[in-house]
Amino acid sequence: MSYQTDLPPASFPQPSPRQRARARAAHSIEALRELAARTLPRAIFDFYDGGAETESTLRGNREAIDRLRLLPRYLVDVSHPDTGTQLLGRPAAMPLAVAPTGAIGYGWPFGDVAIARAAGDAGVPYALPTSSTSSIERVAREAPHTRLWFQSYMLRKRDFTFGLISRAHAAGYEALIITIDMPTGGKRERDLRNDFGLPFRFTPRNVLDFGRRPGWVVRQLRAGLPALENMAGFVPDAVDASTIASSVGKNYDPAFVWEDLARIRDAWPRKLLIKGVLHPEDARRAAQLGADGVIVSNHGGRQLDGAVAALDALPGVAHAVGGRIPVFVDGGVRRGTDIVKALALGAGGVLVGRPMLYGVSVAGQAGAERALFLFREELIRTLKLTGVARVQDIDATVLHAVEKKGSHPS
């Protein structure tokens, strides 16, 4: 296997004063999303924003959150709310980690580094994906003060996959995330409509689309087209990132089973998280196998359309593991109130992906920082308004009604 561990310094583009001002003026994640839609070509925005097929699961993640209502208590001293918590046994400034999201460099050159640095400044972990546009080694070098987790898919080329995991260990990543919900890729119809396929081919439709965003085009040309740096050598004769990405997409391993996961557990000496868990029995088996946590996730609605909403699956998973290991959840988290609802249903923390893509696409690291600022500011406000002095005191009593969704036979 051939890869470059000593990559040359990159030219990280800095946001302009106008871009910074636009990010500061965004008072919600939805406002950052709207700015991103006006900043990116439609094909890139839809690739980040979209889901599989009819997008019913994408919508369902938000609907599940919105169904829950908070039941506040008052006359409680909330003058100094504490958002601090423990994530995988180490302090975090809030119960949030940045989820692994691929191809960030198409939104902002070396956006993986920008988000990692923002996460470090905010005191939360950052999960680097296999399909990042900055390598394992580059992110470790450029964001040395950030708690780094590495997310790996299971590819048919097992030696290559284990090579990535070994690189993450050598670079000091504290946790490994194994994503189990991709035996094949989901059908993302927005991408098909936008002629945004892999391997990528220029068509009149997408050329016109890109041409409508000259600022994005200039930024990309100055930095150079993004490369999937972790995947160098995966396809020896590949000439561009698109060809590599297409090959990776065709090489997810549908034969990956529990025994294979056990071998990874034996080989990885640090914290291990299993991502893509929806069924309680899978969570129970992960705990028995020795995982250090599970992430309740339907891949942001990008895989199986019609799958249960992540928040609806959360109570059943939390009950199945019975407090033996922490449970995290992702999918549709956009507000501080969403974090409180997730914790009230049994989560130890949330992961956020698309909000960081929106932020970094608008203003690089400054936009990513804005997204994390909004989550923390809204979380503090929610603690005060619900009468909870500390994040660690959140429980089901802050909810008006805990719906018994997603509870499979135990």
The answer to whether the annotation marks 153 as part of a ligand binding site is yes
DSSP string, 169-189: HHTT-SEEEEE-S-SS----H
DSSP state letter for 399: B
The answer to whether the annotation marks 179 as part of a ligand binding site is yes
The answer to whether the annotation marks 348 as part of a ligand binding site is no
By residue count, the chain amounts to 410
The answer to whether the annotation marks 62 as part of a ligand binding site is no
Distance CA 149, CA 383 (A): 28
**Residue 299 falls in the annotated catalytic set:** yes
The answer to whether the annotation marks 332 as part of a ligand binding site is yes
The answer to whether the annotation marks 290 as part of a ligand binding site is no
The answer to whether the annotation marks 302 as part of a ligand binding site is yes
The answer to whether the annotation marks 106 as part of a ligand binding site is no
Contacts of 297 (CB under 8 A, 6+ apart): 181, 275, 276, 277, 278, 310, 329, 330, 331, 351
The answer to whether the annotation marks 157 as part of a ligand binding site is no
DSSP string, 82-121: B--EEETTEEESSSEEEPP-S-GGGTSTTHHHHHHHHHHH
The answer to whether the annotation marks 120 as part of a ligand binding site is no
* Burial bucket for residue 18 (CB in 10 Å: 0-12, 13-18, 19+): exposed
Q: Determine which one of 27, 145, 299, 408 is catalytic.
A: 299
The answer to whether the annotation marks 297 as part of a ligand binding site is yes
φ/ψ of residue 119, rounded to 5 = -65, -40
Distance CA 66, CA 85 (A): 25
- Provide, for the chain, the percentages of residues in helix, strand and coil under a 3-state DSSP scheme, each rounded to the nearest 5: 45, 10, 40
Distance CA 60, CA 54 (A): 11
The answer to whether the annotation marks 101 as part of a ligand binding site is yes
DSSP state letter for 218: H
Known binding site: residues? 100-102, 151, 153, 179, 188, 275, 297, 299, 302, 330-334, 353-354
Known binding site for glyoxylate: residues? 153, 188, 299, 302
Known binding site for FMN: residues? 100-102, 151, 179, 275, 297, 330-334, 353-354
Query: What is the set of active-site residues?
Result: 299
